[in-house]
Amino acid sequence: MKPHIIALDLDGTLLTDDKKISIRNKTVISKLRELGHKVVIATGRPYRASKVYYQELLLDSPMVNFNGAFTHHPTNPTIFESEHTPIDQKTAKAIIETCEAFRVQNIMVEIIDEYYLRYRDKGFEDTFTLGQTPIDYGNLHTLLQEDPTSLLIYPEDNNHKALKDMLHSAHAEVIEQRSWGAPFNVIEIVKSGLSKAVGLKRISDFYQIPKDRIIAFGDEDNDLEMLEYVGCGVAMGNAIDELKAIANEKTVTNEEDGIAVFLEDRFHL
């Protein structure tokens, strides 16, 4: 069989609810790599929060972070040129001002693998920083002196939709925004035109594997473009309805080894 790219979202897809890779998923991924297929992580997470899974799977491929804002090769940057597409600093500061007016619970400004936080919040930090200390806390309008990769905004639950609508109305032409699920209903913002599909296309070109030989798995709205782009887009059993509606195929949930179940059948493992 000709080599395929297997593109994997992390949260709610490859990872169980307790953020682990199951033995069955790991075994299937290892077998496919031995057969010459390329396994690629495509995630909204920064590299610092996805590196452990890349290493656990013993990958040697480029990867997509920040929903396409940063595409790079973690172990061999000389063979694959990194591409970083940040948000314009002026736009970022305008968004921060809007969020301050909404009195959001917290704001994280990320620049590749470093970040600033508006407020100290141990629960928020433990979830999103993996123990890495921020560059600084406080007035982000003053602290931010370069174009950021992404913004993570943690609004009050009752203001989540109103803030999204406001940001869309004011900045729709220059940003993409996505919503994360519980326990933190976070809004993630990257530059307009970016998606996992953009990063995956670069990796597809690098390997010279056409999109009809790409299989991608996802569960959330930041996977929509990726599943539409590839030859076979697979929605997890726990995926949002919008993703299931556009997917070519469906599998069982992330808690039921959905990736392994699908790939075992597809590749007759």
Report CA torsion sign: 18, 24, 25, 30.
Answer: positive
Helix or strand holding residue 265 (H, E): helix 258-266
Identify whether 9 is a catalytic site residue.
Answer: yes
Give the three-class secondary structure for 125: helix
Query: Considering only CA atoms, which of 148, 151, 144, 145 is closest in space to residue 128?
Result: 151
Query: Considering only CA atoms, which of 183, 178, 164, 150 is closest in space to residue 104?
Result: 164
Rounded-to-10 torsion of CA 108, 136, 9, 19:
-100
- Considering 9, 219, 223, 257, which one is annotated as catalytic? 9
Helix or strand holding residue 206 (H, E): helix 196-207
Which conformational region is residue 213 in: left (phi greater than 0), alpha (psi within -120 to 50 degrees), or beta? alpha
Name the phi and psi angles at 138, rounded to 5: 125, -145
Q: Cite the active site residues.
A: 9
